[in-house]
Structure 1
Amino acid sequence: MATAERTYSDAEIEERLKKELPHWHLEGGWIRRKYKTNSWKGTLMVINTVGHLAEAAWHHPDITASYAWVEVRLTNHAAKGITDKDFELAKKIEDVVHWQPATEGGALEGCPADDMRFAYIKYDKPKK
């Protein structure tokens, strides 16, 4: 028999989001994040990325999309609240969607930043 998963209070969720996932917020019992893209192509790429990660993790978010944005919402329906599964999947989504190879100094150069034909996602500006 499966054991009950720990759910977090709103105050605990807000604190974890502030520390671990500053671009996510709590609303209506979900942790949420809107990713801005440059086009429908970028939107589809984000949706497919989130879908792959969710299926691999066996923890599935709700996704809403439009031409130049994707909103990801996570909650644990079985546990009736936000659990570690939600935080862990949100972190993995952040890591993959906002990966910028060009900033790592390796062989991978990333999408050309100065040519909108190849623009993919609107990356968050670094916090100072």
Structure 2
Amino acid sequence: MATSERTYTDEEVEARLKKELPHWYLEGGWIRRKYKTNSWKGTLMVINTVGHLSEAAWHHPDITASYAWVEVRLMNHAAKGITDKDFSLAKKIEEVVHWQPGLEGGALEGCPKDDMRFAYIKYDKPKA
């Protein structure tokens, strides 16, 4: 039997986004994030990543895409609002899409930064 999930007020959502997911925003009842990519290849990689994570979590976003961007929108359809599921999935999407192994050190070096043939996502600039 399904249990009802707590939905957050707009003020609570905005406060959590500011603290936990600063590149996401609330609009029209959805939490949203637009990822900029370098090409269609990058757009498809982001879509597939979001699709895999969403299916594994059994919580599915709406996605809109174009040649060089992907917009992800999350809202718990069953609860008719923003719930902990939305925040949890948004955090996992953010973590995986923006993962840069070259910054961590270790055996995984990451994509070559000086050759645009391998570029696929435009990473957010670090906050000062």
Give the structure-2-normalised TM-score: 0.99
User: Offset at 1:3?
Assistant: 1.7
**Structure 1 unaligned runs (5+)?**
none
Match of 1:80 in 2: 80
State the Cα RMSD in Å: 0.5
Aligned residues: 128
Give the SS at the match of 1:95. helix
Q: What amino acid is the match of 1:96?
A: V
Q: Distance in 2 between matches of 1:110 and 1:120?
A: 12
Matches within 5 A, 1:114-125: 114-125=114-125
Match of 2:90 in 1: 90
User: Offset at 1:120?
Assistant: 1.1
User: Offset at 1:41?
Assistant: 0.2
User: Offset at 1:2?
Assistant: 2.0
What is the percent sequence identity of the aligned residues? 89
Q: Distance in 2 between matches of 1:23 and 1:96?
A: 14
Deviations 1:23-64 (A, max 9, x none): 000000000000000000000000000000000000000000
Match of 1:64 in 2: 64
**Structure 2 unaligned runs (5+)?**
none
Q: Distance in 1 between matches of 2:106 and 2:68?
A: 29
Match of 2:20 in 1: 20
Q: What amino acid is the match of 2:68?
A: A
User: Offset at 1:13?
Assistant: 0.1
User: Offset at 1:106?
Assistant: 1.0
Match of 1:100 in 2: 100
Q: Distance in 1 between matches of 2:121 and 2:20?
A: 21
